[in-house]
Amino acid sequence: MNSRWHWRAQREKTAFLALADGTVFHGYSVGAPVDALGEVVFNTGMTGYQEILSDPSYSGQLVTMTCPEIGNTGINAADMESARLFANGFILHEMNAPHNWRSELSLEECLLRNAIPAIAGIDTRALTSKLRDQGTLKGYLVVSGKIAEPQAVRLAAEWGGLDGQDYAAKVTCKQPYRWDEQGKLSASWGIADSLPEADLKIVAYDFGIKWNILRSMRRNGMAVTVVPATTSADEVLALKPQGVFLSNGPADPAAVTYAIDSARQLLGKVPLMGICLGHQILGLAGGGRTLRLKFGHHGCNHPVKDLKTGRIEITSQNHNFTVDPQSLDPAKIEITHINLNDLTVEGIEHKHAPMFSVQYHPEASPGPHDPYYLFGRFRELIIRA
């Protein structure tokens, strides 16, 4: 296909993004021909759009990329973070055809196959500034041409949003499985033959877990059994794990009440580690509460300070809620990390039980590798317990 003709034809597929406050951004469709509601957020990463789209934590969200050129590296099977795309929709300034030796599929074709709508040709700088100043907004991405702008604005405003919503139950696995049996450590990663012995038995709660978290634990000698989000503490303990991991995931942590109860029952009985939603669940299980951030943390460049060592880590993050530091009992919970942009809580540990958690993503997919050591810390916590 002639690329010049193709992009001209794409621009004829008009689309618009209607926000709940009445603002409308016009562009053209570059994804699936379906409309979608969602919470509009912005991600400051310059790359890694494939990992972002396939991260279950983005379920319920319309993701805006602040980098203006998206699509250059295409899509490949090795970089997926789950079996499919989870974002409700994709918002970008310009979609490019892939020009990369690792590309197996164009971004546009991947969006079509996964029934994910996308809009390009809009001023993503203006949209990002609006979200930064006003906070996260509900939106309706219309690419079908079947809904008028006033109706789309009304539907966006009436949508229930993500507050109080349990999306972990929507994205979790249906049955337990052993990670090593899934064949995800493919030869393309060049690590299958150099893995250490898996001498620690871990159970990982799947609230929307990313594959690179599982890869990272396996690289640290952990044999991981992944279980559904609703698995009870008794069922987990019956598997006789040496450690339990609570994964990342989407939406409101306070709505995942069954997971909070399970974490509370597991605390003190087995070493625990949490990431992102798992961190928030552990904070709630420890007696704290969570709050919604104005526009969330979404990107690969968030500076976090380790309060124990003074070390600064550049981190990858994706969350809209945070643990309220005022709600934590200092006799039980110690704040170990803070975000240097807004001083929000980025890490906690229990003073009397083997438990720690971080708000950011040490597996960094996409993102920097500064916090990767935390998987080794989990291993040491288990060995010492």
- pLDDT tens digit sequence for 184-242: 544 344 555 578 899 999 999 999 999 999 999 999 999 999 999 999 999 999 999 99
- In whole angstroms, what is the distance from residue 316 CA to residue 139 CA? 25
Cα dihedral 35→40→46→50 (10° resolution): -40
How confident is residue 366, by pLDDT bands cut at 50, 70 and 90? Answer: confident
Q: What is the pLDDT of residue 188?
A: 43
Does the domain at 3-158 match CATH 3.50.30.20? Answer given as yes
Q: What is the pTM of this model?
A: 0.94
DSSP 8-state assignment for residue 197:
P
- In whole angstroms, what is the distance from residue 99 CA to residue 337 CA? 39
Q: What is the pLDDT of residue 9?
A: 55
In the chain, CATH 3.50.30.20 sits at: 3-158
pLDDT tens for residues 256-276? Answer: 999 999 999 999 999 999 999
φ, ψ for residue 109, nearest 5 deg? -65, -40
- Closest CA relative to residue 316, chosen from 358, 281, 365, 356: 365
The pLDDT mean for the chain works out to: 94
φ, ψ for residue 132, nearest 5 deg? -65, -40
Q: What is the pLDDT of residue 1?
A: 44
pLDDT tens for residues 23-58? Answer: 999 999 999 999 999 999 999 998 899 999 999 999
3-state class (DSSP) for residue 179: helix
Q: In this predicted model, which residue has the larger pLDDT, 190 or 15?
A: 15
Q: What is the pLDDT of residue 30?
A: 96
Q: What is the pLDDT of residue 12?
A: 74
Average pLDDT over residues 64-77: 96
User: CB of 161 within 8 A of CB of 43?
Assistant: no
For residue 251, pLDDT over 70 is answered with: yes
| CATH no. of 168-384 | 3.40.50.880
- CB-based burial of residue 89 (10 Å sphere; 0-12 exposed, 13-18 middle, 19+ buried)? buried
CB atoms within 10 A of CB 94: 16
Q: What is the pLDDT of residue 296?
A: 96
Q: What is the pLDDT of residue 92?
A: 97
Average pLDDT over residues 294-315: 96
In the chain, CATH 3.40.50.880 sits at: 168-384
* Catalytically annotated residues: 276, 361, 363
φ, ψ for residue 130, nearest 5 deg? -65, -45
Q: What is the pLDDT of residue 8?
A: 57
Average pLDDT over residues 295-299: 96
- In whole angstroms, what is the distance from residue 113 CA to residue 327 CA? 44
For residue 100, pLDDT over 50 is answered with: yes
Sign of CA dihedral 381, 177, 285, 137: positive
Average pLDDT over residues 11-15: 84
- In whole angstroms, what is the distance from residue 120 CA to residue 27 CA? 6
CB proximity list for 72: less than 8 A, separation 6 or greater: 96, 98, 99, 100
